[in-house]
A = this chain, B = another copy of it.
Amino acid sequence: MQGDGEYNRSSKVQAAGLSPAISLLVNAARAFELPSDAEPIVIADYGSSQGGNSLEPIALAIQVFRQRLGQKRPVAVFHTDLPDNDFSALFRTLAEDPRSYLQNHPNIFPAAVGRSFYEQILPVNSVTLGWSSWAVQWLSQAPRSIPDQVQVAYSRDSATKAAFAAQAASDWRTFLTHRGAELRPGGRLIILTMALDDSGSFGYAPVLDAMYGSLLNMVETGFLAQDEVARMTIPTVGRSRSDFLAPFQASSDGRFAELSVEHLEIFRGEDRIWNQYQKDGDAEKFGAQWAAFSRASAFPTLAADLRGGRTDPRTEEFVSGLEAGTAQKLAMAPAEMVIPLAEMVLRKE
C-alpha cells in the first residue's frame, strides 16, 4: 500500500525495540537442536513489509546457523505480508542493500508469501525460526468504525472498545494456531509488537491527538465529510501481558497450539525522534519525522476510507495535507512519545 520504498525509509520508530528482540532471535538460533539429517533451515518473517527492518535480525540468525552448520546447508527465508505489499521493493532491498543477508552468504534462498498470517501459509512442521516484528498488532479487520478517534485505545465508546478487544483476542488465537502448525518441533517464534504498558496505556498520545485533530480540521475546511472521518480507523491494538498469556493460561499445561511461552516482557521503546530533538532542539524536524512515520504506517489505511475508496481523486492531497497538519501540531509542542512494546519467545514442543 505504500509508495516505492516509502515504508523502508520511514521505519525509524519501528527500529526502536529491535535490539532486544534481535538478541532473542540470535539466542534462539543458538539454542535450536539441529536436525540430524540434511533438512533445510527455514526462517519465516511474518509481516515483513518491504524488508528494511528484517535484514539485520535475519542476517544475524543466518550467521549463527552458518557457524553451526557450515556454508552449504541451504537456508530458506520466507517474507510474508498481505498481497498488496510492495514485494518488488522487498526483492530490490534484498538484492541491493549492503545490510542484506544475501551479500555475504551463499545458499540463502529468499521468497515472499503474499497472504495474510491469519491463515496457515507455510507447510506444517517446516519453520525452524519465526520472526514477527511490528506486525501482529494489525487486526485481521476492524470489527467496526470508531466514532471518536482513529485508534481504539483513545475512544470513549465502550461498545467499540469491547468489539476491538474481542477481535484482538480472536486474532491472537488465530495467529498462534497457524504459527503452532507451521513451526517444527523445537522451533521458536520471536515476536515484537505494540503492547499496553503496566498502567494500561497504549502510548503515542501526542501523535494520535495531532493526527485526529488534523482530520477534524479537514472537516472544518470542508475537504473531508464528517462521515468519512467517522469511518476512518487504524485497525491496530496494543495487548496487555494478560491478553498475550490468556490462550496459554486456559490450559493446564500452559500450552496453546503446541506452543509454550518461554519469555514475555513488556517494555518501553526508545523514542529516537525525541532523543534527536533533545540534542538539536529542532521542533519542526521532530514533527516532520513523527508525521512521516504516521504517513508510512497508517495513512494508506485511512485514505482507503475516503468516499471514493482507493481511487478517490483526493487521495494524494489528503495524505500530504494530513502529514503536514500532523507535523505542524507536533512541532508546536514536542513531547516524548510513550512506546509500549512486548517481546515474546514461543517454543513448539
- The answer on a CB contact under 8 Å between A87 and B74 is no
A272 contacts the other chain (CB 8 A): no
A331 contacts the other chain (CB 8 A): no
A122 contacts the other chain (CB 8 A): yes
Chain A 110-127 residues near chain B, CB threshold 8 A: 110-115, 121-124, 126
Chain A 66-96 residues near chain B, CB threshold 8 A: 74, 76, 78, 83-88, 90-92, 94-95
- The answer on a CB contact under 8 Å between B87 and A115 is no
- Given that A95-B115, A113-B110 are contacting pairs, would A123 and B87 also be in contact in the complex, using a CB cutoff of 8 Å? no
A107 contacts the other chain (CB 8 A): yes
Measured CA separation A111–B87 after assembly (Å): 11
- The answer on a CB contact under 8 Å between A114 and B91 is yes
Measured CA separation A95–B82 after assembly (Å): 11
Q: Which B residues touch A114, using CB under 8 A?
A: 87-88, 90-91, 94, 112
A204 contacts the other chain (CB 8 A): no
Number of identical protomers? 2
Q: Which B residues touch A94, using CB under 8 A?
A: 114
Q: Which B residues touch A121, using CB under 8 A?
A: 109
Measured CA separation A124–B85 after assembly (Å): 29
A40 contacts the other chain (CB 8 A): yes
Of chain B, the residue at the smallest CB distance from A116 is B95
- The answer on a CB contact under 8 Å between B124 and A74 is yes
Q: Which B residues touch A83, using CB under 8 A?
A: 88, 91-92, 95
Q: Which B residues touch A84, using CB under 8 A?
A: 88, 92
Measured CA separation A107–B126 after assembly (Å): 12
- The answer on a CB contact under 8 Å between A112 and B109 is no
- Given that A83-B95, A111-B113 are contacting pairs, would A123 and B88 also be in contact in the complex, using a CB cutoff of 8 Å? no
Minimum Cβ distance to chain B for residue A27 (Å) = 26
Measured CA separation A241–B76 after assembly (Å): 36
- The answer on a CB contact under 8 Å between B123 and A107 is yes
Chain A 97-150 residues near chain B, CB threshold 8 A: 107, 109-115, 121-124, 126
Of chain B, the residue at the smallest CB distance from A86 is B88
- The answer on a CB contact under 8 Å between B122 and A78 is no
Of chain B, the residue at the smallest CB distance from A89 is B83
Measured CA separation A87–B121 after assembly (Å): 16
Minimum Cβ distance to chain B for residue A310 (Å) = 11
Of chain B, the residue at the smallest CB distance from A87 is B87
Q: Which B residues touch A111, using CB under 8 A?
A: 78, 111-113
Of chain B, the residue at the smallest CB distance from A102 is B115
Minimum Cβ distance to chain B for residue A119 (Å) = 10
Q: Which B residues touch A74, using CB under 8 A?
A: 123-124, 126
Measured CA separation A85–B114 after assembly (Å): 14
Measured CA separation A266–B208 after assembly (Å): 64
Q: Which B residues touch A107, using CB under 8 A?
A: 123-124
- The answer on a CB contact under 8 Å between A91 and B115 is yes
Give 5 A-B contacts (CB < 8 Å), ordered by A residue. A40-B123, A84-B92, A87-B87, A109-B123, A111-B111
| 7 cross-chain pairs, A with B, having the tightest CB-CB distances, nearest first | A91-B114, A74-B123, A83-B91, A87-B87, A111-B111, A112-B112, A111-B113
A85-B88, A112-B114 known; 18 other A-B pairs, CB under 8 Å?
A74-B123, A74-B126, A78-B111, A83-B88, A83-B91, A83-B95, A86-B88, A87-B87, A88-B114, A90-B114, A107-B123, A107-B124, A109-B113, A110-B113, A110-B115, A111-B112, A112-B112, A112-B113
